[in-house]
Amino acid sequence: MVFSGLLFIFIYLPVTLAVYYLSPPKWRNAWLFAANLIFYGWGEPVYVLLMVFSVALNYASGLLIAAHRDRGRAIVAVNTALNLALLIFFKYYDFIAENLSAISFLSFMHPIGVTLPIGISFYTFQTMSYPIDVYRGDAEVQKNFVSFGTFVSLFPQLIAGPIIRYKSIASQLSERRVDVKRFSAGVTRFCAGLAKKVLLANNIGALWDVYASRDPSSLSAAGAWLGAIAFSFQIYFDFSGYSDMAIGLGHMLGFDFCENFSYPYISRSITEFWRRWHISLGTWFRDYVYIPLGGNRRGLARQLVNICIVWALTGIWHGASWNFLLWGVYYAVLLMLEKLFLLRALDRAPAAVGHVYSLLLVILGWVLFSVEDIGSCLRYISAMFGGGSGLFSGEAAYYLRSFGPTLAVLIVASTPLPKKLYSRLPDKAVSVLTPVLTAAALLLCTAYLTDSTYNPFLYFRF
């Protein structure tokens, strides 16, 4: 993983960009499509075929819908079923088989060890939304197979988002420009994201690994909370860092990708948190599931049912495990309670109350998300409230002292404060500091990647 990261930064990316800029504009999509497939197939070459099939399926569906508007609804239904069938087989078959095999008349079902294609949840949602938008009239049909393939397989955001919709970059597929200012802004954004992932997420992830590997019943309440807080920061800086890298790479290629995070840990409610966290996934479920189900237009009772459906699907989208479904239901309950009365109470309460309320519930939610074994998960939560080995321990004090400075940096970095302070600097200072900090971030990340064997991307498995 470390070697692959350095190979990407110093060989694959420069070569891809160099060939891209040296190519005539009419050939750039073809080069990107080929480079995207090489990038995707680096670890699992066989799944390039699955990617190409997904591209062909949805490209053909768009053409069929444009040619047969009167049958568009049926074409969308078949296309959606085929996309979901692929996703369910590769991501959920073993989970379903393992649970159903306990039923006597279904005992013929057995897990077969299907390997999860990297990023299949992300690119399936991207491709599946295209025929729907063509049917709705929200997007023009794409007649160029290479251009459509380029959209689906764009390497900057292919394996961990953000989820890009065709209609948002359709015009950019046919015409885009990059000047020095835009390219340099992309490099800065990429290096900032790399630093968030490598210098922040990886370092605090080491603390979570300590507590995740322990028997929850042996943890003190302080230690359990410290571990859960560590994971909360790890997943935020890991995923938002990758999104920043994707957006920065997009700028270098002339694309504008949507923002995926907006300081979620400053939220004053769970409703606000989910408007700030993984924005592209939330808006996808809103536009393609929640609103088609009726949204909030058919009364409160139906709205609550729709919330339950959306959040059960959101949970299971993240992984084939009961804890993800439980995590989705957990948020469904919280959002329904806020919709019924809690949100009004929070609006009247001091801001600090909403912040503390949101942070505590989000941290608890990350425990449900991160600990896949339900029994271990519940024991871990019990330890957070004193059900382990007491309230405090020398070990917790040691790790708090060791990671205290890192936690302080993470707290500040998860707020808009650094950006606000930086924006108040004189333009001349910014023009000097930005390239210096960008180069320093790249240098430090390279040193870290060279020296460390710990470099997980948490969202690759989704």
- Give yes or no for a contact between 181 and 235, defined as CB atoms under 8 angstroms apart: no
Q: What are phi and psi of 403, to 5 degrees?
A: -100, 5
**What is the predicted pLDDT for the residue at 42?**
77
**What is the predicted pLDDT for the residue at 7?**
73
Say how far apart CA 184 and CA 110 lie, in whole Å. 52
C-alpha 84: how far from chain center = 19
User: What residue type is assigned to position 167 of the chain?
Assistant: K
- Give yes or no for a contact between 83 and 54, defined as CB atoms under 8 angstroms apart: yes
Say how far apart CA 366 and CA 368 lie, in whole Å. 5
Q: And the tokens for 263?
A: 């300081």
User: Exposed, middle or buried: residue 293 (CB in 10 Å: 0-12, 13-18, 19+)?
Assistant: middle
Among the listed residues 68, 110, 278, 318, the single catalytic one is: 318
User: What residue type is assigned to position 172 of the chain?
Assistant: Q
Q: Which residue has the tokens 């790790």?
A: 399
Assess whether 355 carries a catalytic annotation. Answer: no
What residue spans define the domains of the chain? Answer: 2-176, 181-461
Q: And the tokens for 116?
A: 């999860």
Query: Angle between the 47-67 and 145-153 helix axes, to the nearest 10 degrees?
Result: 130
Count helices and strands in the chain by DSSP H and E runs = 21, 0
Say how far apart CA 244 and CA 265 lie, in whole Å. 17
Q: Which residue has the tokens 């350095």?
A: 6
**What is the predicted pLDDT for the residue at 456?**
59
Strand, helix or coil for residue 323: helix
Say how far apart CA 330 and CA 237 lie, in whole Å. 23
254 Rama sector, left if φ>0, alpha if ψ -120 to 50, beta otherwise? left
**What is the predicted pLDDT for the residue at 2?**
41
- Please, where are the H alpha helices in 68-201? 72-100, 120-136, 145-153, 166-174, 180-195
Question: CA-based angle 341:344:345, to the nearest 5?
Answer: 85
Q: And the tokens for 261?
A: 């995070």
- Give yes or no for a contact between 377 and 368, defined as CB atoms under 8 angstroms apart: yes
Q: Return the closest-CA partner of residue 156 out of 225, 224, 258, 56.
A: 258
Say how far apart CA 436 and CA 135 lie, in whole Å. 49
Say how far apart CA 327 and CA 364 lie, in whole Å. 10
Say how far apart CA 127 and CA 207 lie, in whole Å. 37
**What is the predicted pLDDT for the residue at 273?**
98
How long a stretch of residues is the chain?
462
Say how far apart CA 457 and CA 221 lie, in whole Å. 28
Number of other residues whose CB lies within 10 A of the CB of residue 232: 24
Q: What is the full per-residue pLDDT of the chain (462 aa) written as tens digits?
A: 444 566 777 788 888 889 999 999 889 999 999 988 888 887 678 889 999 999 999 999 999 999 999 999 999 999 999 999 999 999 998 888 888 876 756 666 677 888 888 888 889 999 999 999 999 999 999 999 999 999 998 888 777 778 999 999 999 998 888 888 899 999 999 999 999 999 999 999 999 999 999 999 999 999 999 999 999 999 999 999 999 999 999 999 999 999 999 999 999 999 999 999 999 999 999 999 999 999 888 889 999 999 999 999 999 999 889 999 999 999 999 999 999 999 999 999 999 999 999 999 999 999 999 999 999 999 999 999 999 888 998 899 999 999 999 999 999 999 999 999 999 999 899 999 999 999 999 999 988 888 766 555 565 555
Which letter does DSSP use for residue 118 in this model?
T
